[in-house]
């Protein structure tokens, strides 16, 4: 899936883990207790933290940015790579010193790492009081109360129905412009390298009318952009009959089936000034119907995150990705045909998967040249316990070879990003301002439809403004523009 919004989007595995990190901000509404949350990993985790904050807010908690002032500390964790779990363990060791001086503080581990390790985490990390999986957040107030009484609280039950559709998330670290909306949970794809099906459970789609309602409320509050989130948004499918839920404000019609293309259109129709993005797409499921829906509505951003993972068909089969090189290239060709060359495409890539040969690594480099990605999230293979790959294959590529192959992928992506960005020079584009540039308070940053960062002089503009600009220069990671009157 896409990382935290930042000026530089070309990142290595180590940098990705370093910047995939958010904490709560201060909110003082007079509640008696303080909650501090650190979130690691993907956008789904950040979205989940907003759900957690809402649940805790309804149970007497304000949020704080100072963990030393907190009554409860939650770490919302990621298990996708070993480094993510190592980072959390180091953080817990740092909290240990605080816990010694403030023993009444409750520390909880949430999310994928909690689901993967379950009760074992309580044994390994003595200061942890609460362990909660992604489908059990409604139980957090009870578990915290249990911990306050001196007992450990654990709930790692994986649900077939939970979507948190009725919870209005507390927007943490919000810029007031962009927001995430979770449209589905879990994953039915059993990619051999991935822990997500084991930590987030089976796939289930959220009621589309609750999604539209949330998007409408965000727009009414001044938000200009929503990102529809799911492990595999293209497999979104909802019907009253299958989901056993009554539709909102609709006549009873059990035959209604809403797929992802339908949902995209429903959200796009809220208002032409509400931008719509989505993540992540799976190459086996993205349909022409979705692409034509994107083409139909100007406010559906022309950007697709389409992870390839490897450019070699044999490796893709070992990864259980259920498509081959030719299928992926055909899907990209259809994207270019329907949405044009300017549609942004990004990817995830894994270097050094089990048994990958040098020739197969070259296939990954060559598919990058064919697709010409705008940017990518690039990693070397990290074996995860419990996955199909860990059970079936030997992690037999030496670390130095993995790192060398990863560096070649990163170098290739830097070159492609530079070439793709240079194509934008001289073009007129509309950007949505997200805030000040990190490098200068006299400049603003926004994003164009292809999800590229554009820097402009501040002038009289402010975040939330749509601005028409001419692209004048670029780096491999950033575009620079001047305002067009």
Phi, psi of 359 (to 5 degrees): -65, -40
Distances (CA, A) of 259 to 6, 207, 235, 285: 31, 11, 8, 11
Q: Which residues are annotated as a binding site for [4Fe-4S] cluster?
A: 42, 78, 112, 187, 191, 194
Are 159 and 77 spatial neighbours (Cβ–Cβ below 8 Å)? no
What is the rounded distance in angstroms from the CA atom of residue 474 to the CA atom of residue 464? Answer: 23
Feature table: binding site: 42, 78, 112, 187, 191, 194
Q: DSSP code of 341?
A: T
Residue keyed to tokens 């993005």: 277
Q: Is 249 left (phi over 0), alpha (psi -120 to 50) or beta?
A: left
Query: What is the residue-wise DSSP string for 68-89?
Result: GG-SEEEEEE--SSHHHHHHHH
Task: Report whether 387 contacts 430 (CB < 8 A).
Answer: no
d(CA 451, CA 147): 43
Q: Name the pairing type of β-strands 344-351 and 303-305.
A: parallel
DSSP per-residue string spanning 363-380: HHHHHHHHH--SEEEEEE
Omega before 280 cis (within 30°)?
A: yes
Provide the pairing of β-strand 178-182 with 184-185: unpaired
């Amino acid at each position: 899936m896409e990382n935290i919004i930042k000026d530089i989007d070309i990142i290595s595995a180590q940098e990705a883990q370093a910047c995939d990190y958010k904490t709560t901000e201060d909110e003082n509404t007079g509640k008696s207790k303080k909650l501090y949350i650190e979130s690691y990993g993907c956008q789904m985790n950040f979205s989940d933290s907003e759900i957690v904050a809402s649940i805790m807010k309804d149970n007497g908690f304000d949020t704080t940015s100072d963990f030393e002032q907190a009554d409860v500390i939650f770490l919302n964790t990621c298990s996708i790579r070993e480094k993510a779990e190592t980072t959390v363990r180091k953080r817990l060791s740092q909290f240990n010193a605080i816990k010694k001086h403030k023993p009444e503080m409750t520390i909880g581990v949430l999310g994928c790492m909690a689901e993967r390790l379950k009760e074992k985490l309580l044994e390994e990390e003595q200061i942890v009081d609460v362990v909660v999986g992604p489908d059990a957040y409604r139980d957090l107030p009870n578990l915290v109360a249990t911990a306050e009484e001196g007992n450990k609280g654990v709930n790692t039950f994986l649900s077939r129905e939970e979507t948190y559709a009725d919870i209005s998330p507390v927007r943490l670290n919000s810029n007031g412009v962009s927001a995430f909306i979770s449209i589905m949970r879990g994953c039915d794809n059993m990619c051999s390298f991935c822990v997500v099906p084991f930590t987030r459970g089976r796939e289930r789609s959220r009621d589309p009318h609750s999604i539209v309602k949330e998007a409408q409320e965000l727009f009414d509050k001044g938000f200009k952009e929503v990102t529809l989130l799911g492990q595999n948004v293209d497999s979104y499918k909802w019907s009253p009959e299958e989901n056993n839920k009554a539709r909102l404000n609709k006549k009873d019609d059990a035959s209604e089936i809403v797929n992802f293309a339908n949902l995209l259109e429903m959200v796009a129709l809220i208002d032409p000034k509400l931008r719509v993005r989505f993540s992540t797409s799976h190459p086996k499921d993205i349909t022409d119907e979705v692409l034509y829906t994107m083409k139909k509505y100007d406010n559906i951003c022309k950007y697709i995150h389409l992870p390839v993972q490897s450019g070699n068909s044999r490796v893709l089969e070992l990864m259980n990705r259920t498509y081959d090189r030719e299928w992926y290239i055909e899907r990209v060709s259809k994207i270019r045909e329907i949405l044009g060359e300017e549609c942004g495409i990004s990817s995830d890539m894994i270097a050094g998967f089990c048994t990958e040969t040098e020739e197969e690594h070259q296939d990954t480099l060559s598919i990058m040249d064919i697709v010409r990605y705008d940017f990518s999230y690039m990693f070397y293979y990290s074996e995860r316990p419990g996955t199909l790959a860990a059970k079936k294959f030997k992690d037999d590529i030496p670390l130095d070879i993995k790192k060398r192959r990863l560096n070649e992928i990163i170098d290739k992506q830097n070159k492609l990003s530079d070439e793709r960005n240079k194509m934008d020079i001289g073009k007129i584009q509309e950007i949505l301002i997200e805030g000040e540039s990190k490098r200068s308070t006299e400049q603003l940053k926004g994003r164009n439809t292809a999800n590229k960062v554009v820097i402009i002089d501040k002038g009289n503009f402010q975040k939330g403004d749509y601005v028409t600009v001419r692209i004048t220069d670029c780096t491999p990671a950033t575009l620079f523009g001047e305002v067009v009157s």
